[in-house]
A and B are shown apart, each in its own frame.
Chain A
Amino acid sequence: MTTVRKEDSMLLQKQMIGDHYERLSHAGDEGRKVVYTFVPGNLNELVRSFDLLPLLPEINALQSGMRKLSGNYIAEAEKQGHSEDVCTYVKCDIGMLKKGNIGPTGKPLPKPDLLLLSYTGCFTFMKWFELLREEYPGVPVAMLHVPYQANGRIEPHYRDYVVEQLRTEVIPKLEQVSGRAFDEDRLREMLGRSARAEDDLVWVLESAKHTPSPIDAYFGGVYYIGPIFSAFRGTEGAVDYYRALRAEVQERLDAGEGPMTPDGPLLHEKYRLVVEGPPNWTSFREFWKMFYEEEAVVVASTYTKVGGLYDRGFRHDPEHPLETLADYCLGCYTNLSLPARVDLIERYIKDYNADGFVINSVKSCNSFSVGQLLMLRQLEERTGVPGAFIESDLVDPRYFSAANIKNRLESYLQMLDQKRGAAA
């Protein structure tokens, strides 16, 4: 077996994740309270300001997927009566719970002290928490209703509405569960750290505008967004991680090197692609290999904006702590209207000088998949760049047909080649 090559920042992150799961496993013994919450537009700084530990079920699911555990969990959930059509993140989480709630790193996971639903753009999230509420009777639930950006922008009254809910619904619940009073200064400190980490992340993501790109903004990108979208935003650990990551990418940039892949650095960049949609986690490396074997580099992706968009200028703002949290919740990628998503991808194609774009349509996620075919056509019309459409799933290994996906991707890349040949 060949050794898999990893960047230093990946090892650092692995350590951070391992430590976090370790802390979670001892939460009960140490009397630390745990908040279950989701990735998109999460309120990590707020949760952390109460000294509560966040636990993100989607992260458990995707980690289980990458560790080849999800298939059994999904089967368990289906045995409990969940249909084959239910989101596989949900089934993976429910199955894991039913099989003893041992987390992806092999450590037991604590029960929640609060179920905090901070993003309602995904209807499945609500149903997911209803299931968890049944599993953990008596655990308080806080729900933050986040209006959809139907007009393609955040209206002032949307922000006011979210801030009002933070004051009257979320903060009191956090105070009640933690037994601590809301400390706005502490929150501001964390938001300041968030902004610093976000600056570095944006620099890293935008480094892909160089040719060759020093990063893969999808397969590498999902690692880069790990700390900021999960339990670490607002911590010193995240600030350090992004500083180290930036330095690492800067080095590659200076040396004119391409992205690191599991088989070593990519020496030649043949295609620059934009990817829309989440990756498949169960065959993540196989999927990645289909790209780097063809010397295709992803220069921008929408999935790396699923927690929130920073590259369009948003930064957490310590001066307006609750307003900035509201804007963050409202601004995550799946809360954008379809026309706004098309605008965003169009800018990526142009700004990152992409040869093409690939849509990975996952069966599980309506928040992503709805409208993707329409988006494909509009993007082709607006940019003149052809798109590819492939289908897989998040963590259900049954929905990754390697031959089929490879076939489509290769056909697509050869089509790009042919177009280039015709243009030359």
Chain B
Amino acid sequence: MMEVYVGIDLGSTTTKAIVLDDGGHVIGQGITNSRSNYVIASKVVREEAFVRTRFTITRESALRAVSDAGVALEADFFPSIERNFRLQQYLEQLGALHDAMFRVAETARHKAYVDDLKSRLDAMCSGMRNDARVYFAPGAVRKSDFFRDLAGADYMARAEAMAEPKGITFDTLCGVFDSAILTVENITFEGAFERHIGVALEDTLREAPPEVRRFSDRLRDIVESARLLYLSESGTAGTGYGRQRLPFPKEQIRSEILCHGLGAHAMFPGTRTVLDIGGQDTKAIQLDSEGLVTSFQMNDRCAAGCGRYLGYIADEMNVGVHELGPLAQQSSQRVKINSTCTVFAGAELRERLALGQSREDILAGLHRAIILRAMSLLARSGGVRDEFTFTGGVAKNPAAVAALHDLVRENYGKRTLNTSPDSIYTGALGAALFALRAAERRAA
């Protein structure tokens, strides 16, 4: 048995979970789209964080065992197991998608052509299954890790080829997918590690060099122990917009402000000011030396300039939201943008494009406009002190970080600006730490 502490951050766009061991170390994390269903999202994300926890445990035990035995594992050994595992997970979800699409096909509205529709769906699904390996090959770049996005893009490309203007149309095929994906997204696929890790390990071992293969039985034992290990959830805390929907007692629900503050403090102990740009709100938080919040400001009713705004812009430009920052960084002449209104984002963008301005220059302007809005919130909350930590999903965007860096220097002078590749997990980390602290208090 192992005692773990879980923090869940139910954001408006994505839901995140963090698992800590009793020493406060992060041993698992998970993320999923919030899909307007916080109950499912929190189950899915917990499951995902537990999968990663078991991976962590597997890796640590395996590394200890091989080092004792003097065997060297190649650097790609664990990533390979994980890729193989993800492939199995993806295939399982594809199976569920296939079944769900069949159920949609069998409804009354498709009665006239049900057999034709099913055979096309069969053909598409089997194509998707056969080609799935590509997404999980070494070095493969995925636009998104969410099943909806990955399978959706593949399906749409096949649907275009499969559709016939006078027979089963593209719209019909899209409609079937759109209905079915909702069903699939509401399946939590619990016990994924337990189901798939065996196959994933064998796939990796098959390709492994002989000296590692000789060690197979020991590795199988280690995986089996991780598979059977009982993870005892000794504390849980929730935060984020959907936190009221979490099935926890009120004392275990913490505001995002406190969680982002504590999470940022844990990641960067020198933090005194935090900026978090989330899906639908922006927060400026001031901390004391212990990570306790001394004041904060949030954006008003309007979500202008938040993560959701970037989401709309990405949709308008037909690119992934992660591609926006790198595109903006290619700008040679930044355009001045005044409005960061999410509703008008599309109109503003089309007008700029019609004026002949480049996507890169417009995006550079948009990023600066977002950060200017955040600067006003920071000023309201008491300014930018050293060190300054930028959290939330938008902190992964290099153009946003660069704009923030410049504007902070212009307005407040030199500050240490911290960002982490795991910044999106800051709130969940804070929540998990609250859960751990509460458990420690109970024990004391």
A interface residues, Cβ below 8 angstroms from B: 373, 377, 380, 386-387, 389, 391, 399, 401, 403-404, 407-408, 410-412, 414-415, 418-419, 422
Beta-carbon contact of A404 and B301 below 8 Å? yes
In the complex with contacts A391-B300, A399-B301, A386-B294 CB distance below 8 A: yes
Q: Give Cα distance in the complex from A386 to B258, angstroms.
A: 14
- Chain B, residue nearest A376 (CB): B380
CB distance from B368 to the nearest CB of A (A): 23
- Chain B's interface size range is 20 to 34
Instruction: Select B292's contact among A387, A412, A418, beta carbons within 8 Å.
Output: A418
Residues in A with CB closer than 8 Å to B295 are 380, 386-387, 415
A419 to B288, CA, bound (A): 10
**Closest residue to A403 on the B side, CB-wise?**
B241
CB neighbours (8 Å) of B308 from chain A are none
B257–A415 CB distance below 8 A: yes
A414 to B243, CA, bound (A): 14
Contact assessment for A414 and B292 in the assembled complex, using a CB-CB cutoff below 8 Å: no
B297 in contact with A415 (CB, 8 Å): no
| Secondary structure type dominating chain A contacts | helix
Do residues B290 and A408 form an inter-chain contact, with CB atoms below 8 A?
Answer: no
Are B293 and A373 in contact, CB atoms less than 8 angstroms apart? no
Q: Which of B258, B298, B301, B380 is within 8 Å of A415, CB to CB? A: B258
- Bits for B293-323, please: 1 = Cβ < 8 Å to A, else 0: 1111110110000000000000000000000
CA distance A46 to B142 in the complex (A): 77
Beyond A389-B297, A407-B241, A422-B290, whether A414 also contacts B257 by CB under 8 A is: yes
Residues of chain A within 8 A of B254, CB atoms compared:
414
Contact across chains for B298 and A419 when beta carbons are under 8 A apart: no
Bound complex: CA A56 to CA B293 (Å): 44
Closest chain-A Cβ to B435's Cβ sits at a distance in Å of 15
Name the residue in A386, A414, A418 with the highest tally of chain B Cβ atoms < 10 Å from its Cβ: A418
The 8 closest A-B pairs by CB, nearest first: A411-B255, A411-B257, A401-B301, A391-B300, A414-B255, A415-B293, A410-B255, A418-B292
Instruction: Pick from B254, B294, B300 the residue with the most CB of A within 10 Å.
Output: B300
Known: A415-B257, A415-B293. 20 other contacts (CB 8 A): A386-B294, A387-B295, A389-B380, A391-B300, A391-B301, A399-B301, A401-B301, A404-B281, A404-B298, A407-B241, A411-B255, A411-B256, A411-B257, A411-B298, A414-B257, A414-B258, A415-B258, A415-B296, A418-B293, A422-B290
A419 to B291, CA, bound (A): 11
**A414 CA to B259 CA, complexed, in Å:** 11
Least distance between A240 CB and chain B CB atoms (Å): 42
Alpha-carbon distance A399/B297, docked complex (angstroms): 18
**Chain B residue contacts of A403, Cβ below 8 A:** 241
Asked whether B255 lies within 8 Å of A407 as measured between CB atoms, the reply is: yes
Give CA–CA (A147, B340) in the complex, Å: 40
Residues of A within 8 A of B292 (CB): 418-419, 422
Question: Among residues 254 to 279 in chain B, which have CB atoms less than 8 Å away from a CB atom of chain A?
Answer: 254-258
Tell me, in angstroms, the Cα distance from A407 to B241 when the chains sit together: 8
Give A408 to B255 CA distance when docked, in angstroms: 9
Chain B residues with Cβ under 8 A from A391's Cβ? 300-301
A418 cross-chain contacts in B, Cβ below 8 A = 258, 292-293
Which chain B residues border A407 with CB–CB below 8 Å? 241, 255-256, 281, 298
> B255, B293, B296 — which one has the most chain A CB atoms within 10 A of its CB?
B255
* Residues of chain A contacted by B290 (CB below 8 angstroms): 422
- Interface digits, B71-99 against A, CB 8 Å rule (1 contact, 0 not)? 00000000000000000000000000000
Instruction: For B258, give the chain A residue with the smallest CB separation.
Output: A414
9 A-B pairs in the complex with CB atoms less than 8 angstroms apart: A389-B297, A404-B281, A404-B298, A408-B298, A411-B255, A415-B257, A415-B296, A419-B292, A419-B294
The distance in angstroms between the C-alpha atoms of A403 and B301, with both chains bound, is 9
CB distance from A370 to the nearest CB of B (A): 15
Which residues of B sit under 8 angstroms from A399, Cβ to Cβ?
A: 301
Complex: how many Å from CA A415 to CA B261? Answer: 11
Contact of A411 among B294, B296, B301 (CB under 8 A): B296
In the bound complex, how far is the Cα of B281 from the Cα of A391, in angstroms?
A: 14
Question: What is the CA–CA distance of A293 and B254 in the complex, to the nearest angstrom?
Answer: 15
Q: Which residues of A contact B298 (CB under 8 A)?
A: 404, 407-408, 411
Residues of B within 8 A of A401 (CB): 301
A387 to B288, alpha carbons, bound, how many Å? Answer: 16
Alpha-carbon distance between A414 and B281 when the two chains are bound, in angstroms: 18
Chain A residues near B288: list those with CB within 8 A.
Answer: 422
CA–CA, A377 and B383, complex, Å? 12
Task: Give the distance in Å from the alpha carbon of A391 to the alpha carbon of B293 in the complex.
Answer: 21
Chain B residue nearest to A377 (CB atoms) is B382
B304 to chain A, nearest CB (A): 13
Hey, which chain A residues are within 8 Å of B258, CB to CB? 411, 414-415, 418
Residues of A within 8 A of B257 (CB): 411, 414-415
Q: How far is the CA of A380 from the CA of B296 in the complex (A)?
A: 12
A401 to B280 CA separation, bound complex (whole angstroms) = 13
Residues of B within 8 A of A419 (CB): 292, 294
B120-161 vs A, Cβ < 8 Å mask (1 yes, 0 no): 000000000000000000000000000000000000000000
Question: How many angstroms between the C-alpha atoms of A151 and B300 in the bound complex?
Answer: 33
How distant is the Cα of A373 from the Cα of B298 in the complex, in angstroms? 13
Q: How far is the CA of A412 from the CA of B254 in the complex (A)?
A: 11
Least Cβ–Cβ distance between B302 and chain A, in angstroms: 9
Residue of B254, B288, B293, B301 most packed against chain A (CB within 10 A):
B301
> Given the complex, which residues of A lie within 8 Å of B256, measured CB to CB?
407, 411
Give the docked Cα–Cα distance between A419 and B301 (Å): 27
User: Which residues on A sit within 8 Å (CB–CB) of B380?
Assistant: 373, 389
Within the complex, the shortest CB–CB distance from A386 to chain B, in Å, comes to: 5
Q: Which residues of A contact B281 (CB under 8 A)?
A: 404, 407
B292 to chain A, nearest CB (A): 5
CB distance from A407 to the nearest CB of B (A): 7
In the complex, A300→B424 CA distance in Å? Answer: 40
Closest to A416 in B: B293
Residues of A within 8 Å of B297, CB to CB, are 389
CA distance A387 to B382 in the complex (A): 12
What's the Cα separation between A410 and B290 when bound, in Å?
Answer: 21
Closest B residue, CB atoms, query A294: B250
Interchain CA distance A412-B298 in the complex, whole Å: 11
Q: Complex: how many Å from CA A407 to CA B281?
A: 11
Residues of A within 8 A of B296 (CB): 411-412, 415
Shortest Cβ gap from B381 to chain A (Å): 10
Return B377 CB to nearest CB of chain A, in Å: 11
Give Cα A386–Cα B298 distance, bound, in whole angstroms: 15
Which B240-257 residues sit within 8 Å CB-CB of chain A?
A: 241, 254-257
| Smallest Cβ-Cβ distance to A393: which chain B residue | B301
Which chain A residue shows the least CB distance to B12? A403
**Residue on A nearest B301 in the bound complex, by CB:** A401
| Nearest CB in chain A to that of B260: its residue | A411
Nearest Cβ on chain A to B341's Cβ, whole angstroms: 14
Task: Provide the bound-state CA to CA distance between A419 and B294, in Å.
Answer: 8
Output the least CB separation between A145 and chain B (Å): 35
B293 cross-chain contacts in A, Cβ below 8 A: 415, 418
Nearest-neighbour CB distance to chain B for A398, whole angstroms, equals 9
**In the assembly, what is the distance between CA of A404 and CA of B303, in Å?**
10
**Separation of A408 and B300 alpha carbons in the complex (Å):** 10
How far is A94 from B382 in the complex, measured between Cα atoms in Å? Answer: 41
A321 to B281, CA, bound (A): 54
Within the complex, the shortest CB–CB distance from A331 to chain B, in Å, comes to: 31
- Shortest distance between the CB of B384 and any CB in chain A (Å): 15
From B382, which residue of chain A is reached at the shortest CB distance?
Answer: A377
Bound together, the chains give a CA A26 to CA B293 distance in angstroms of 58
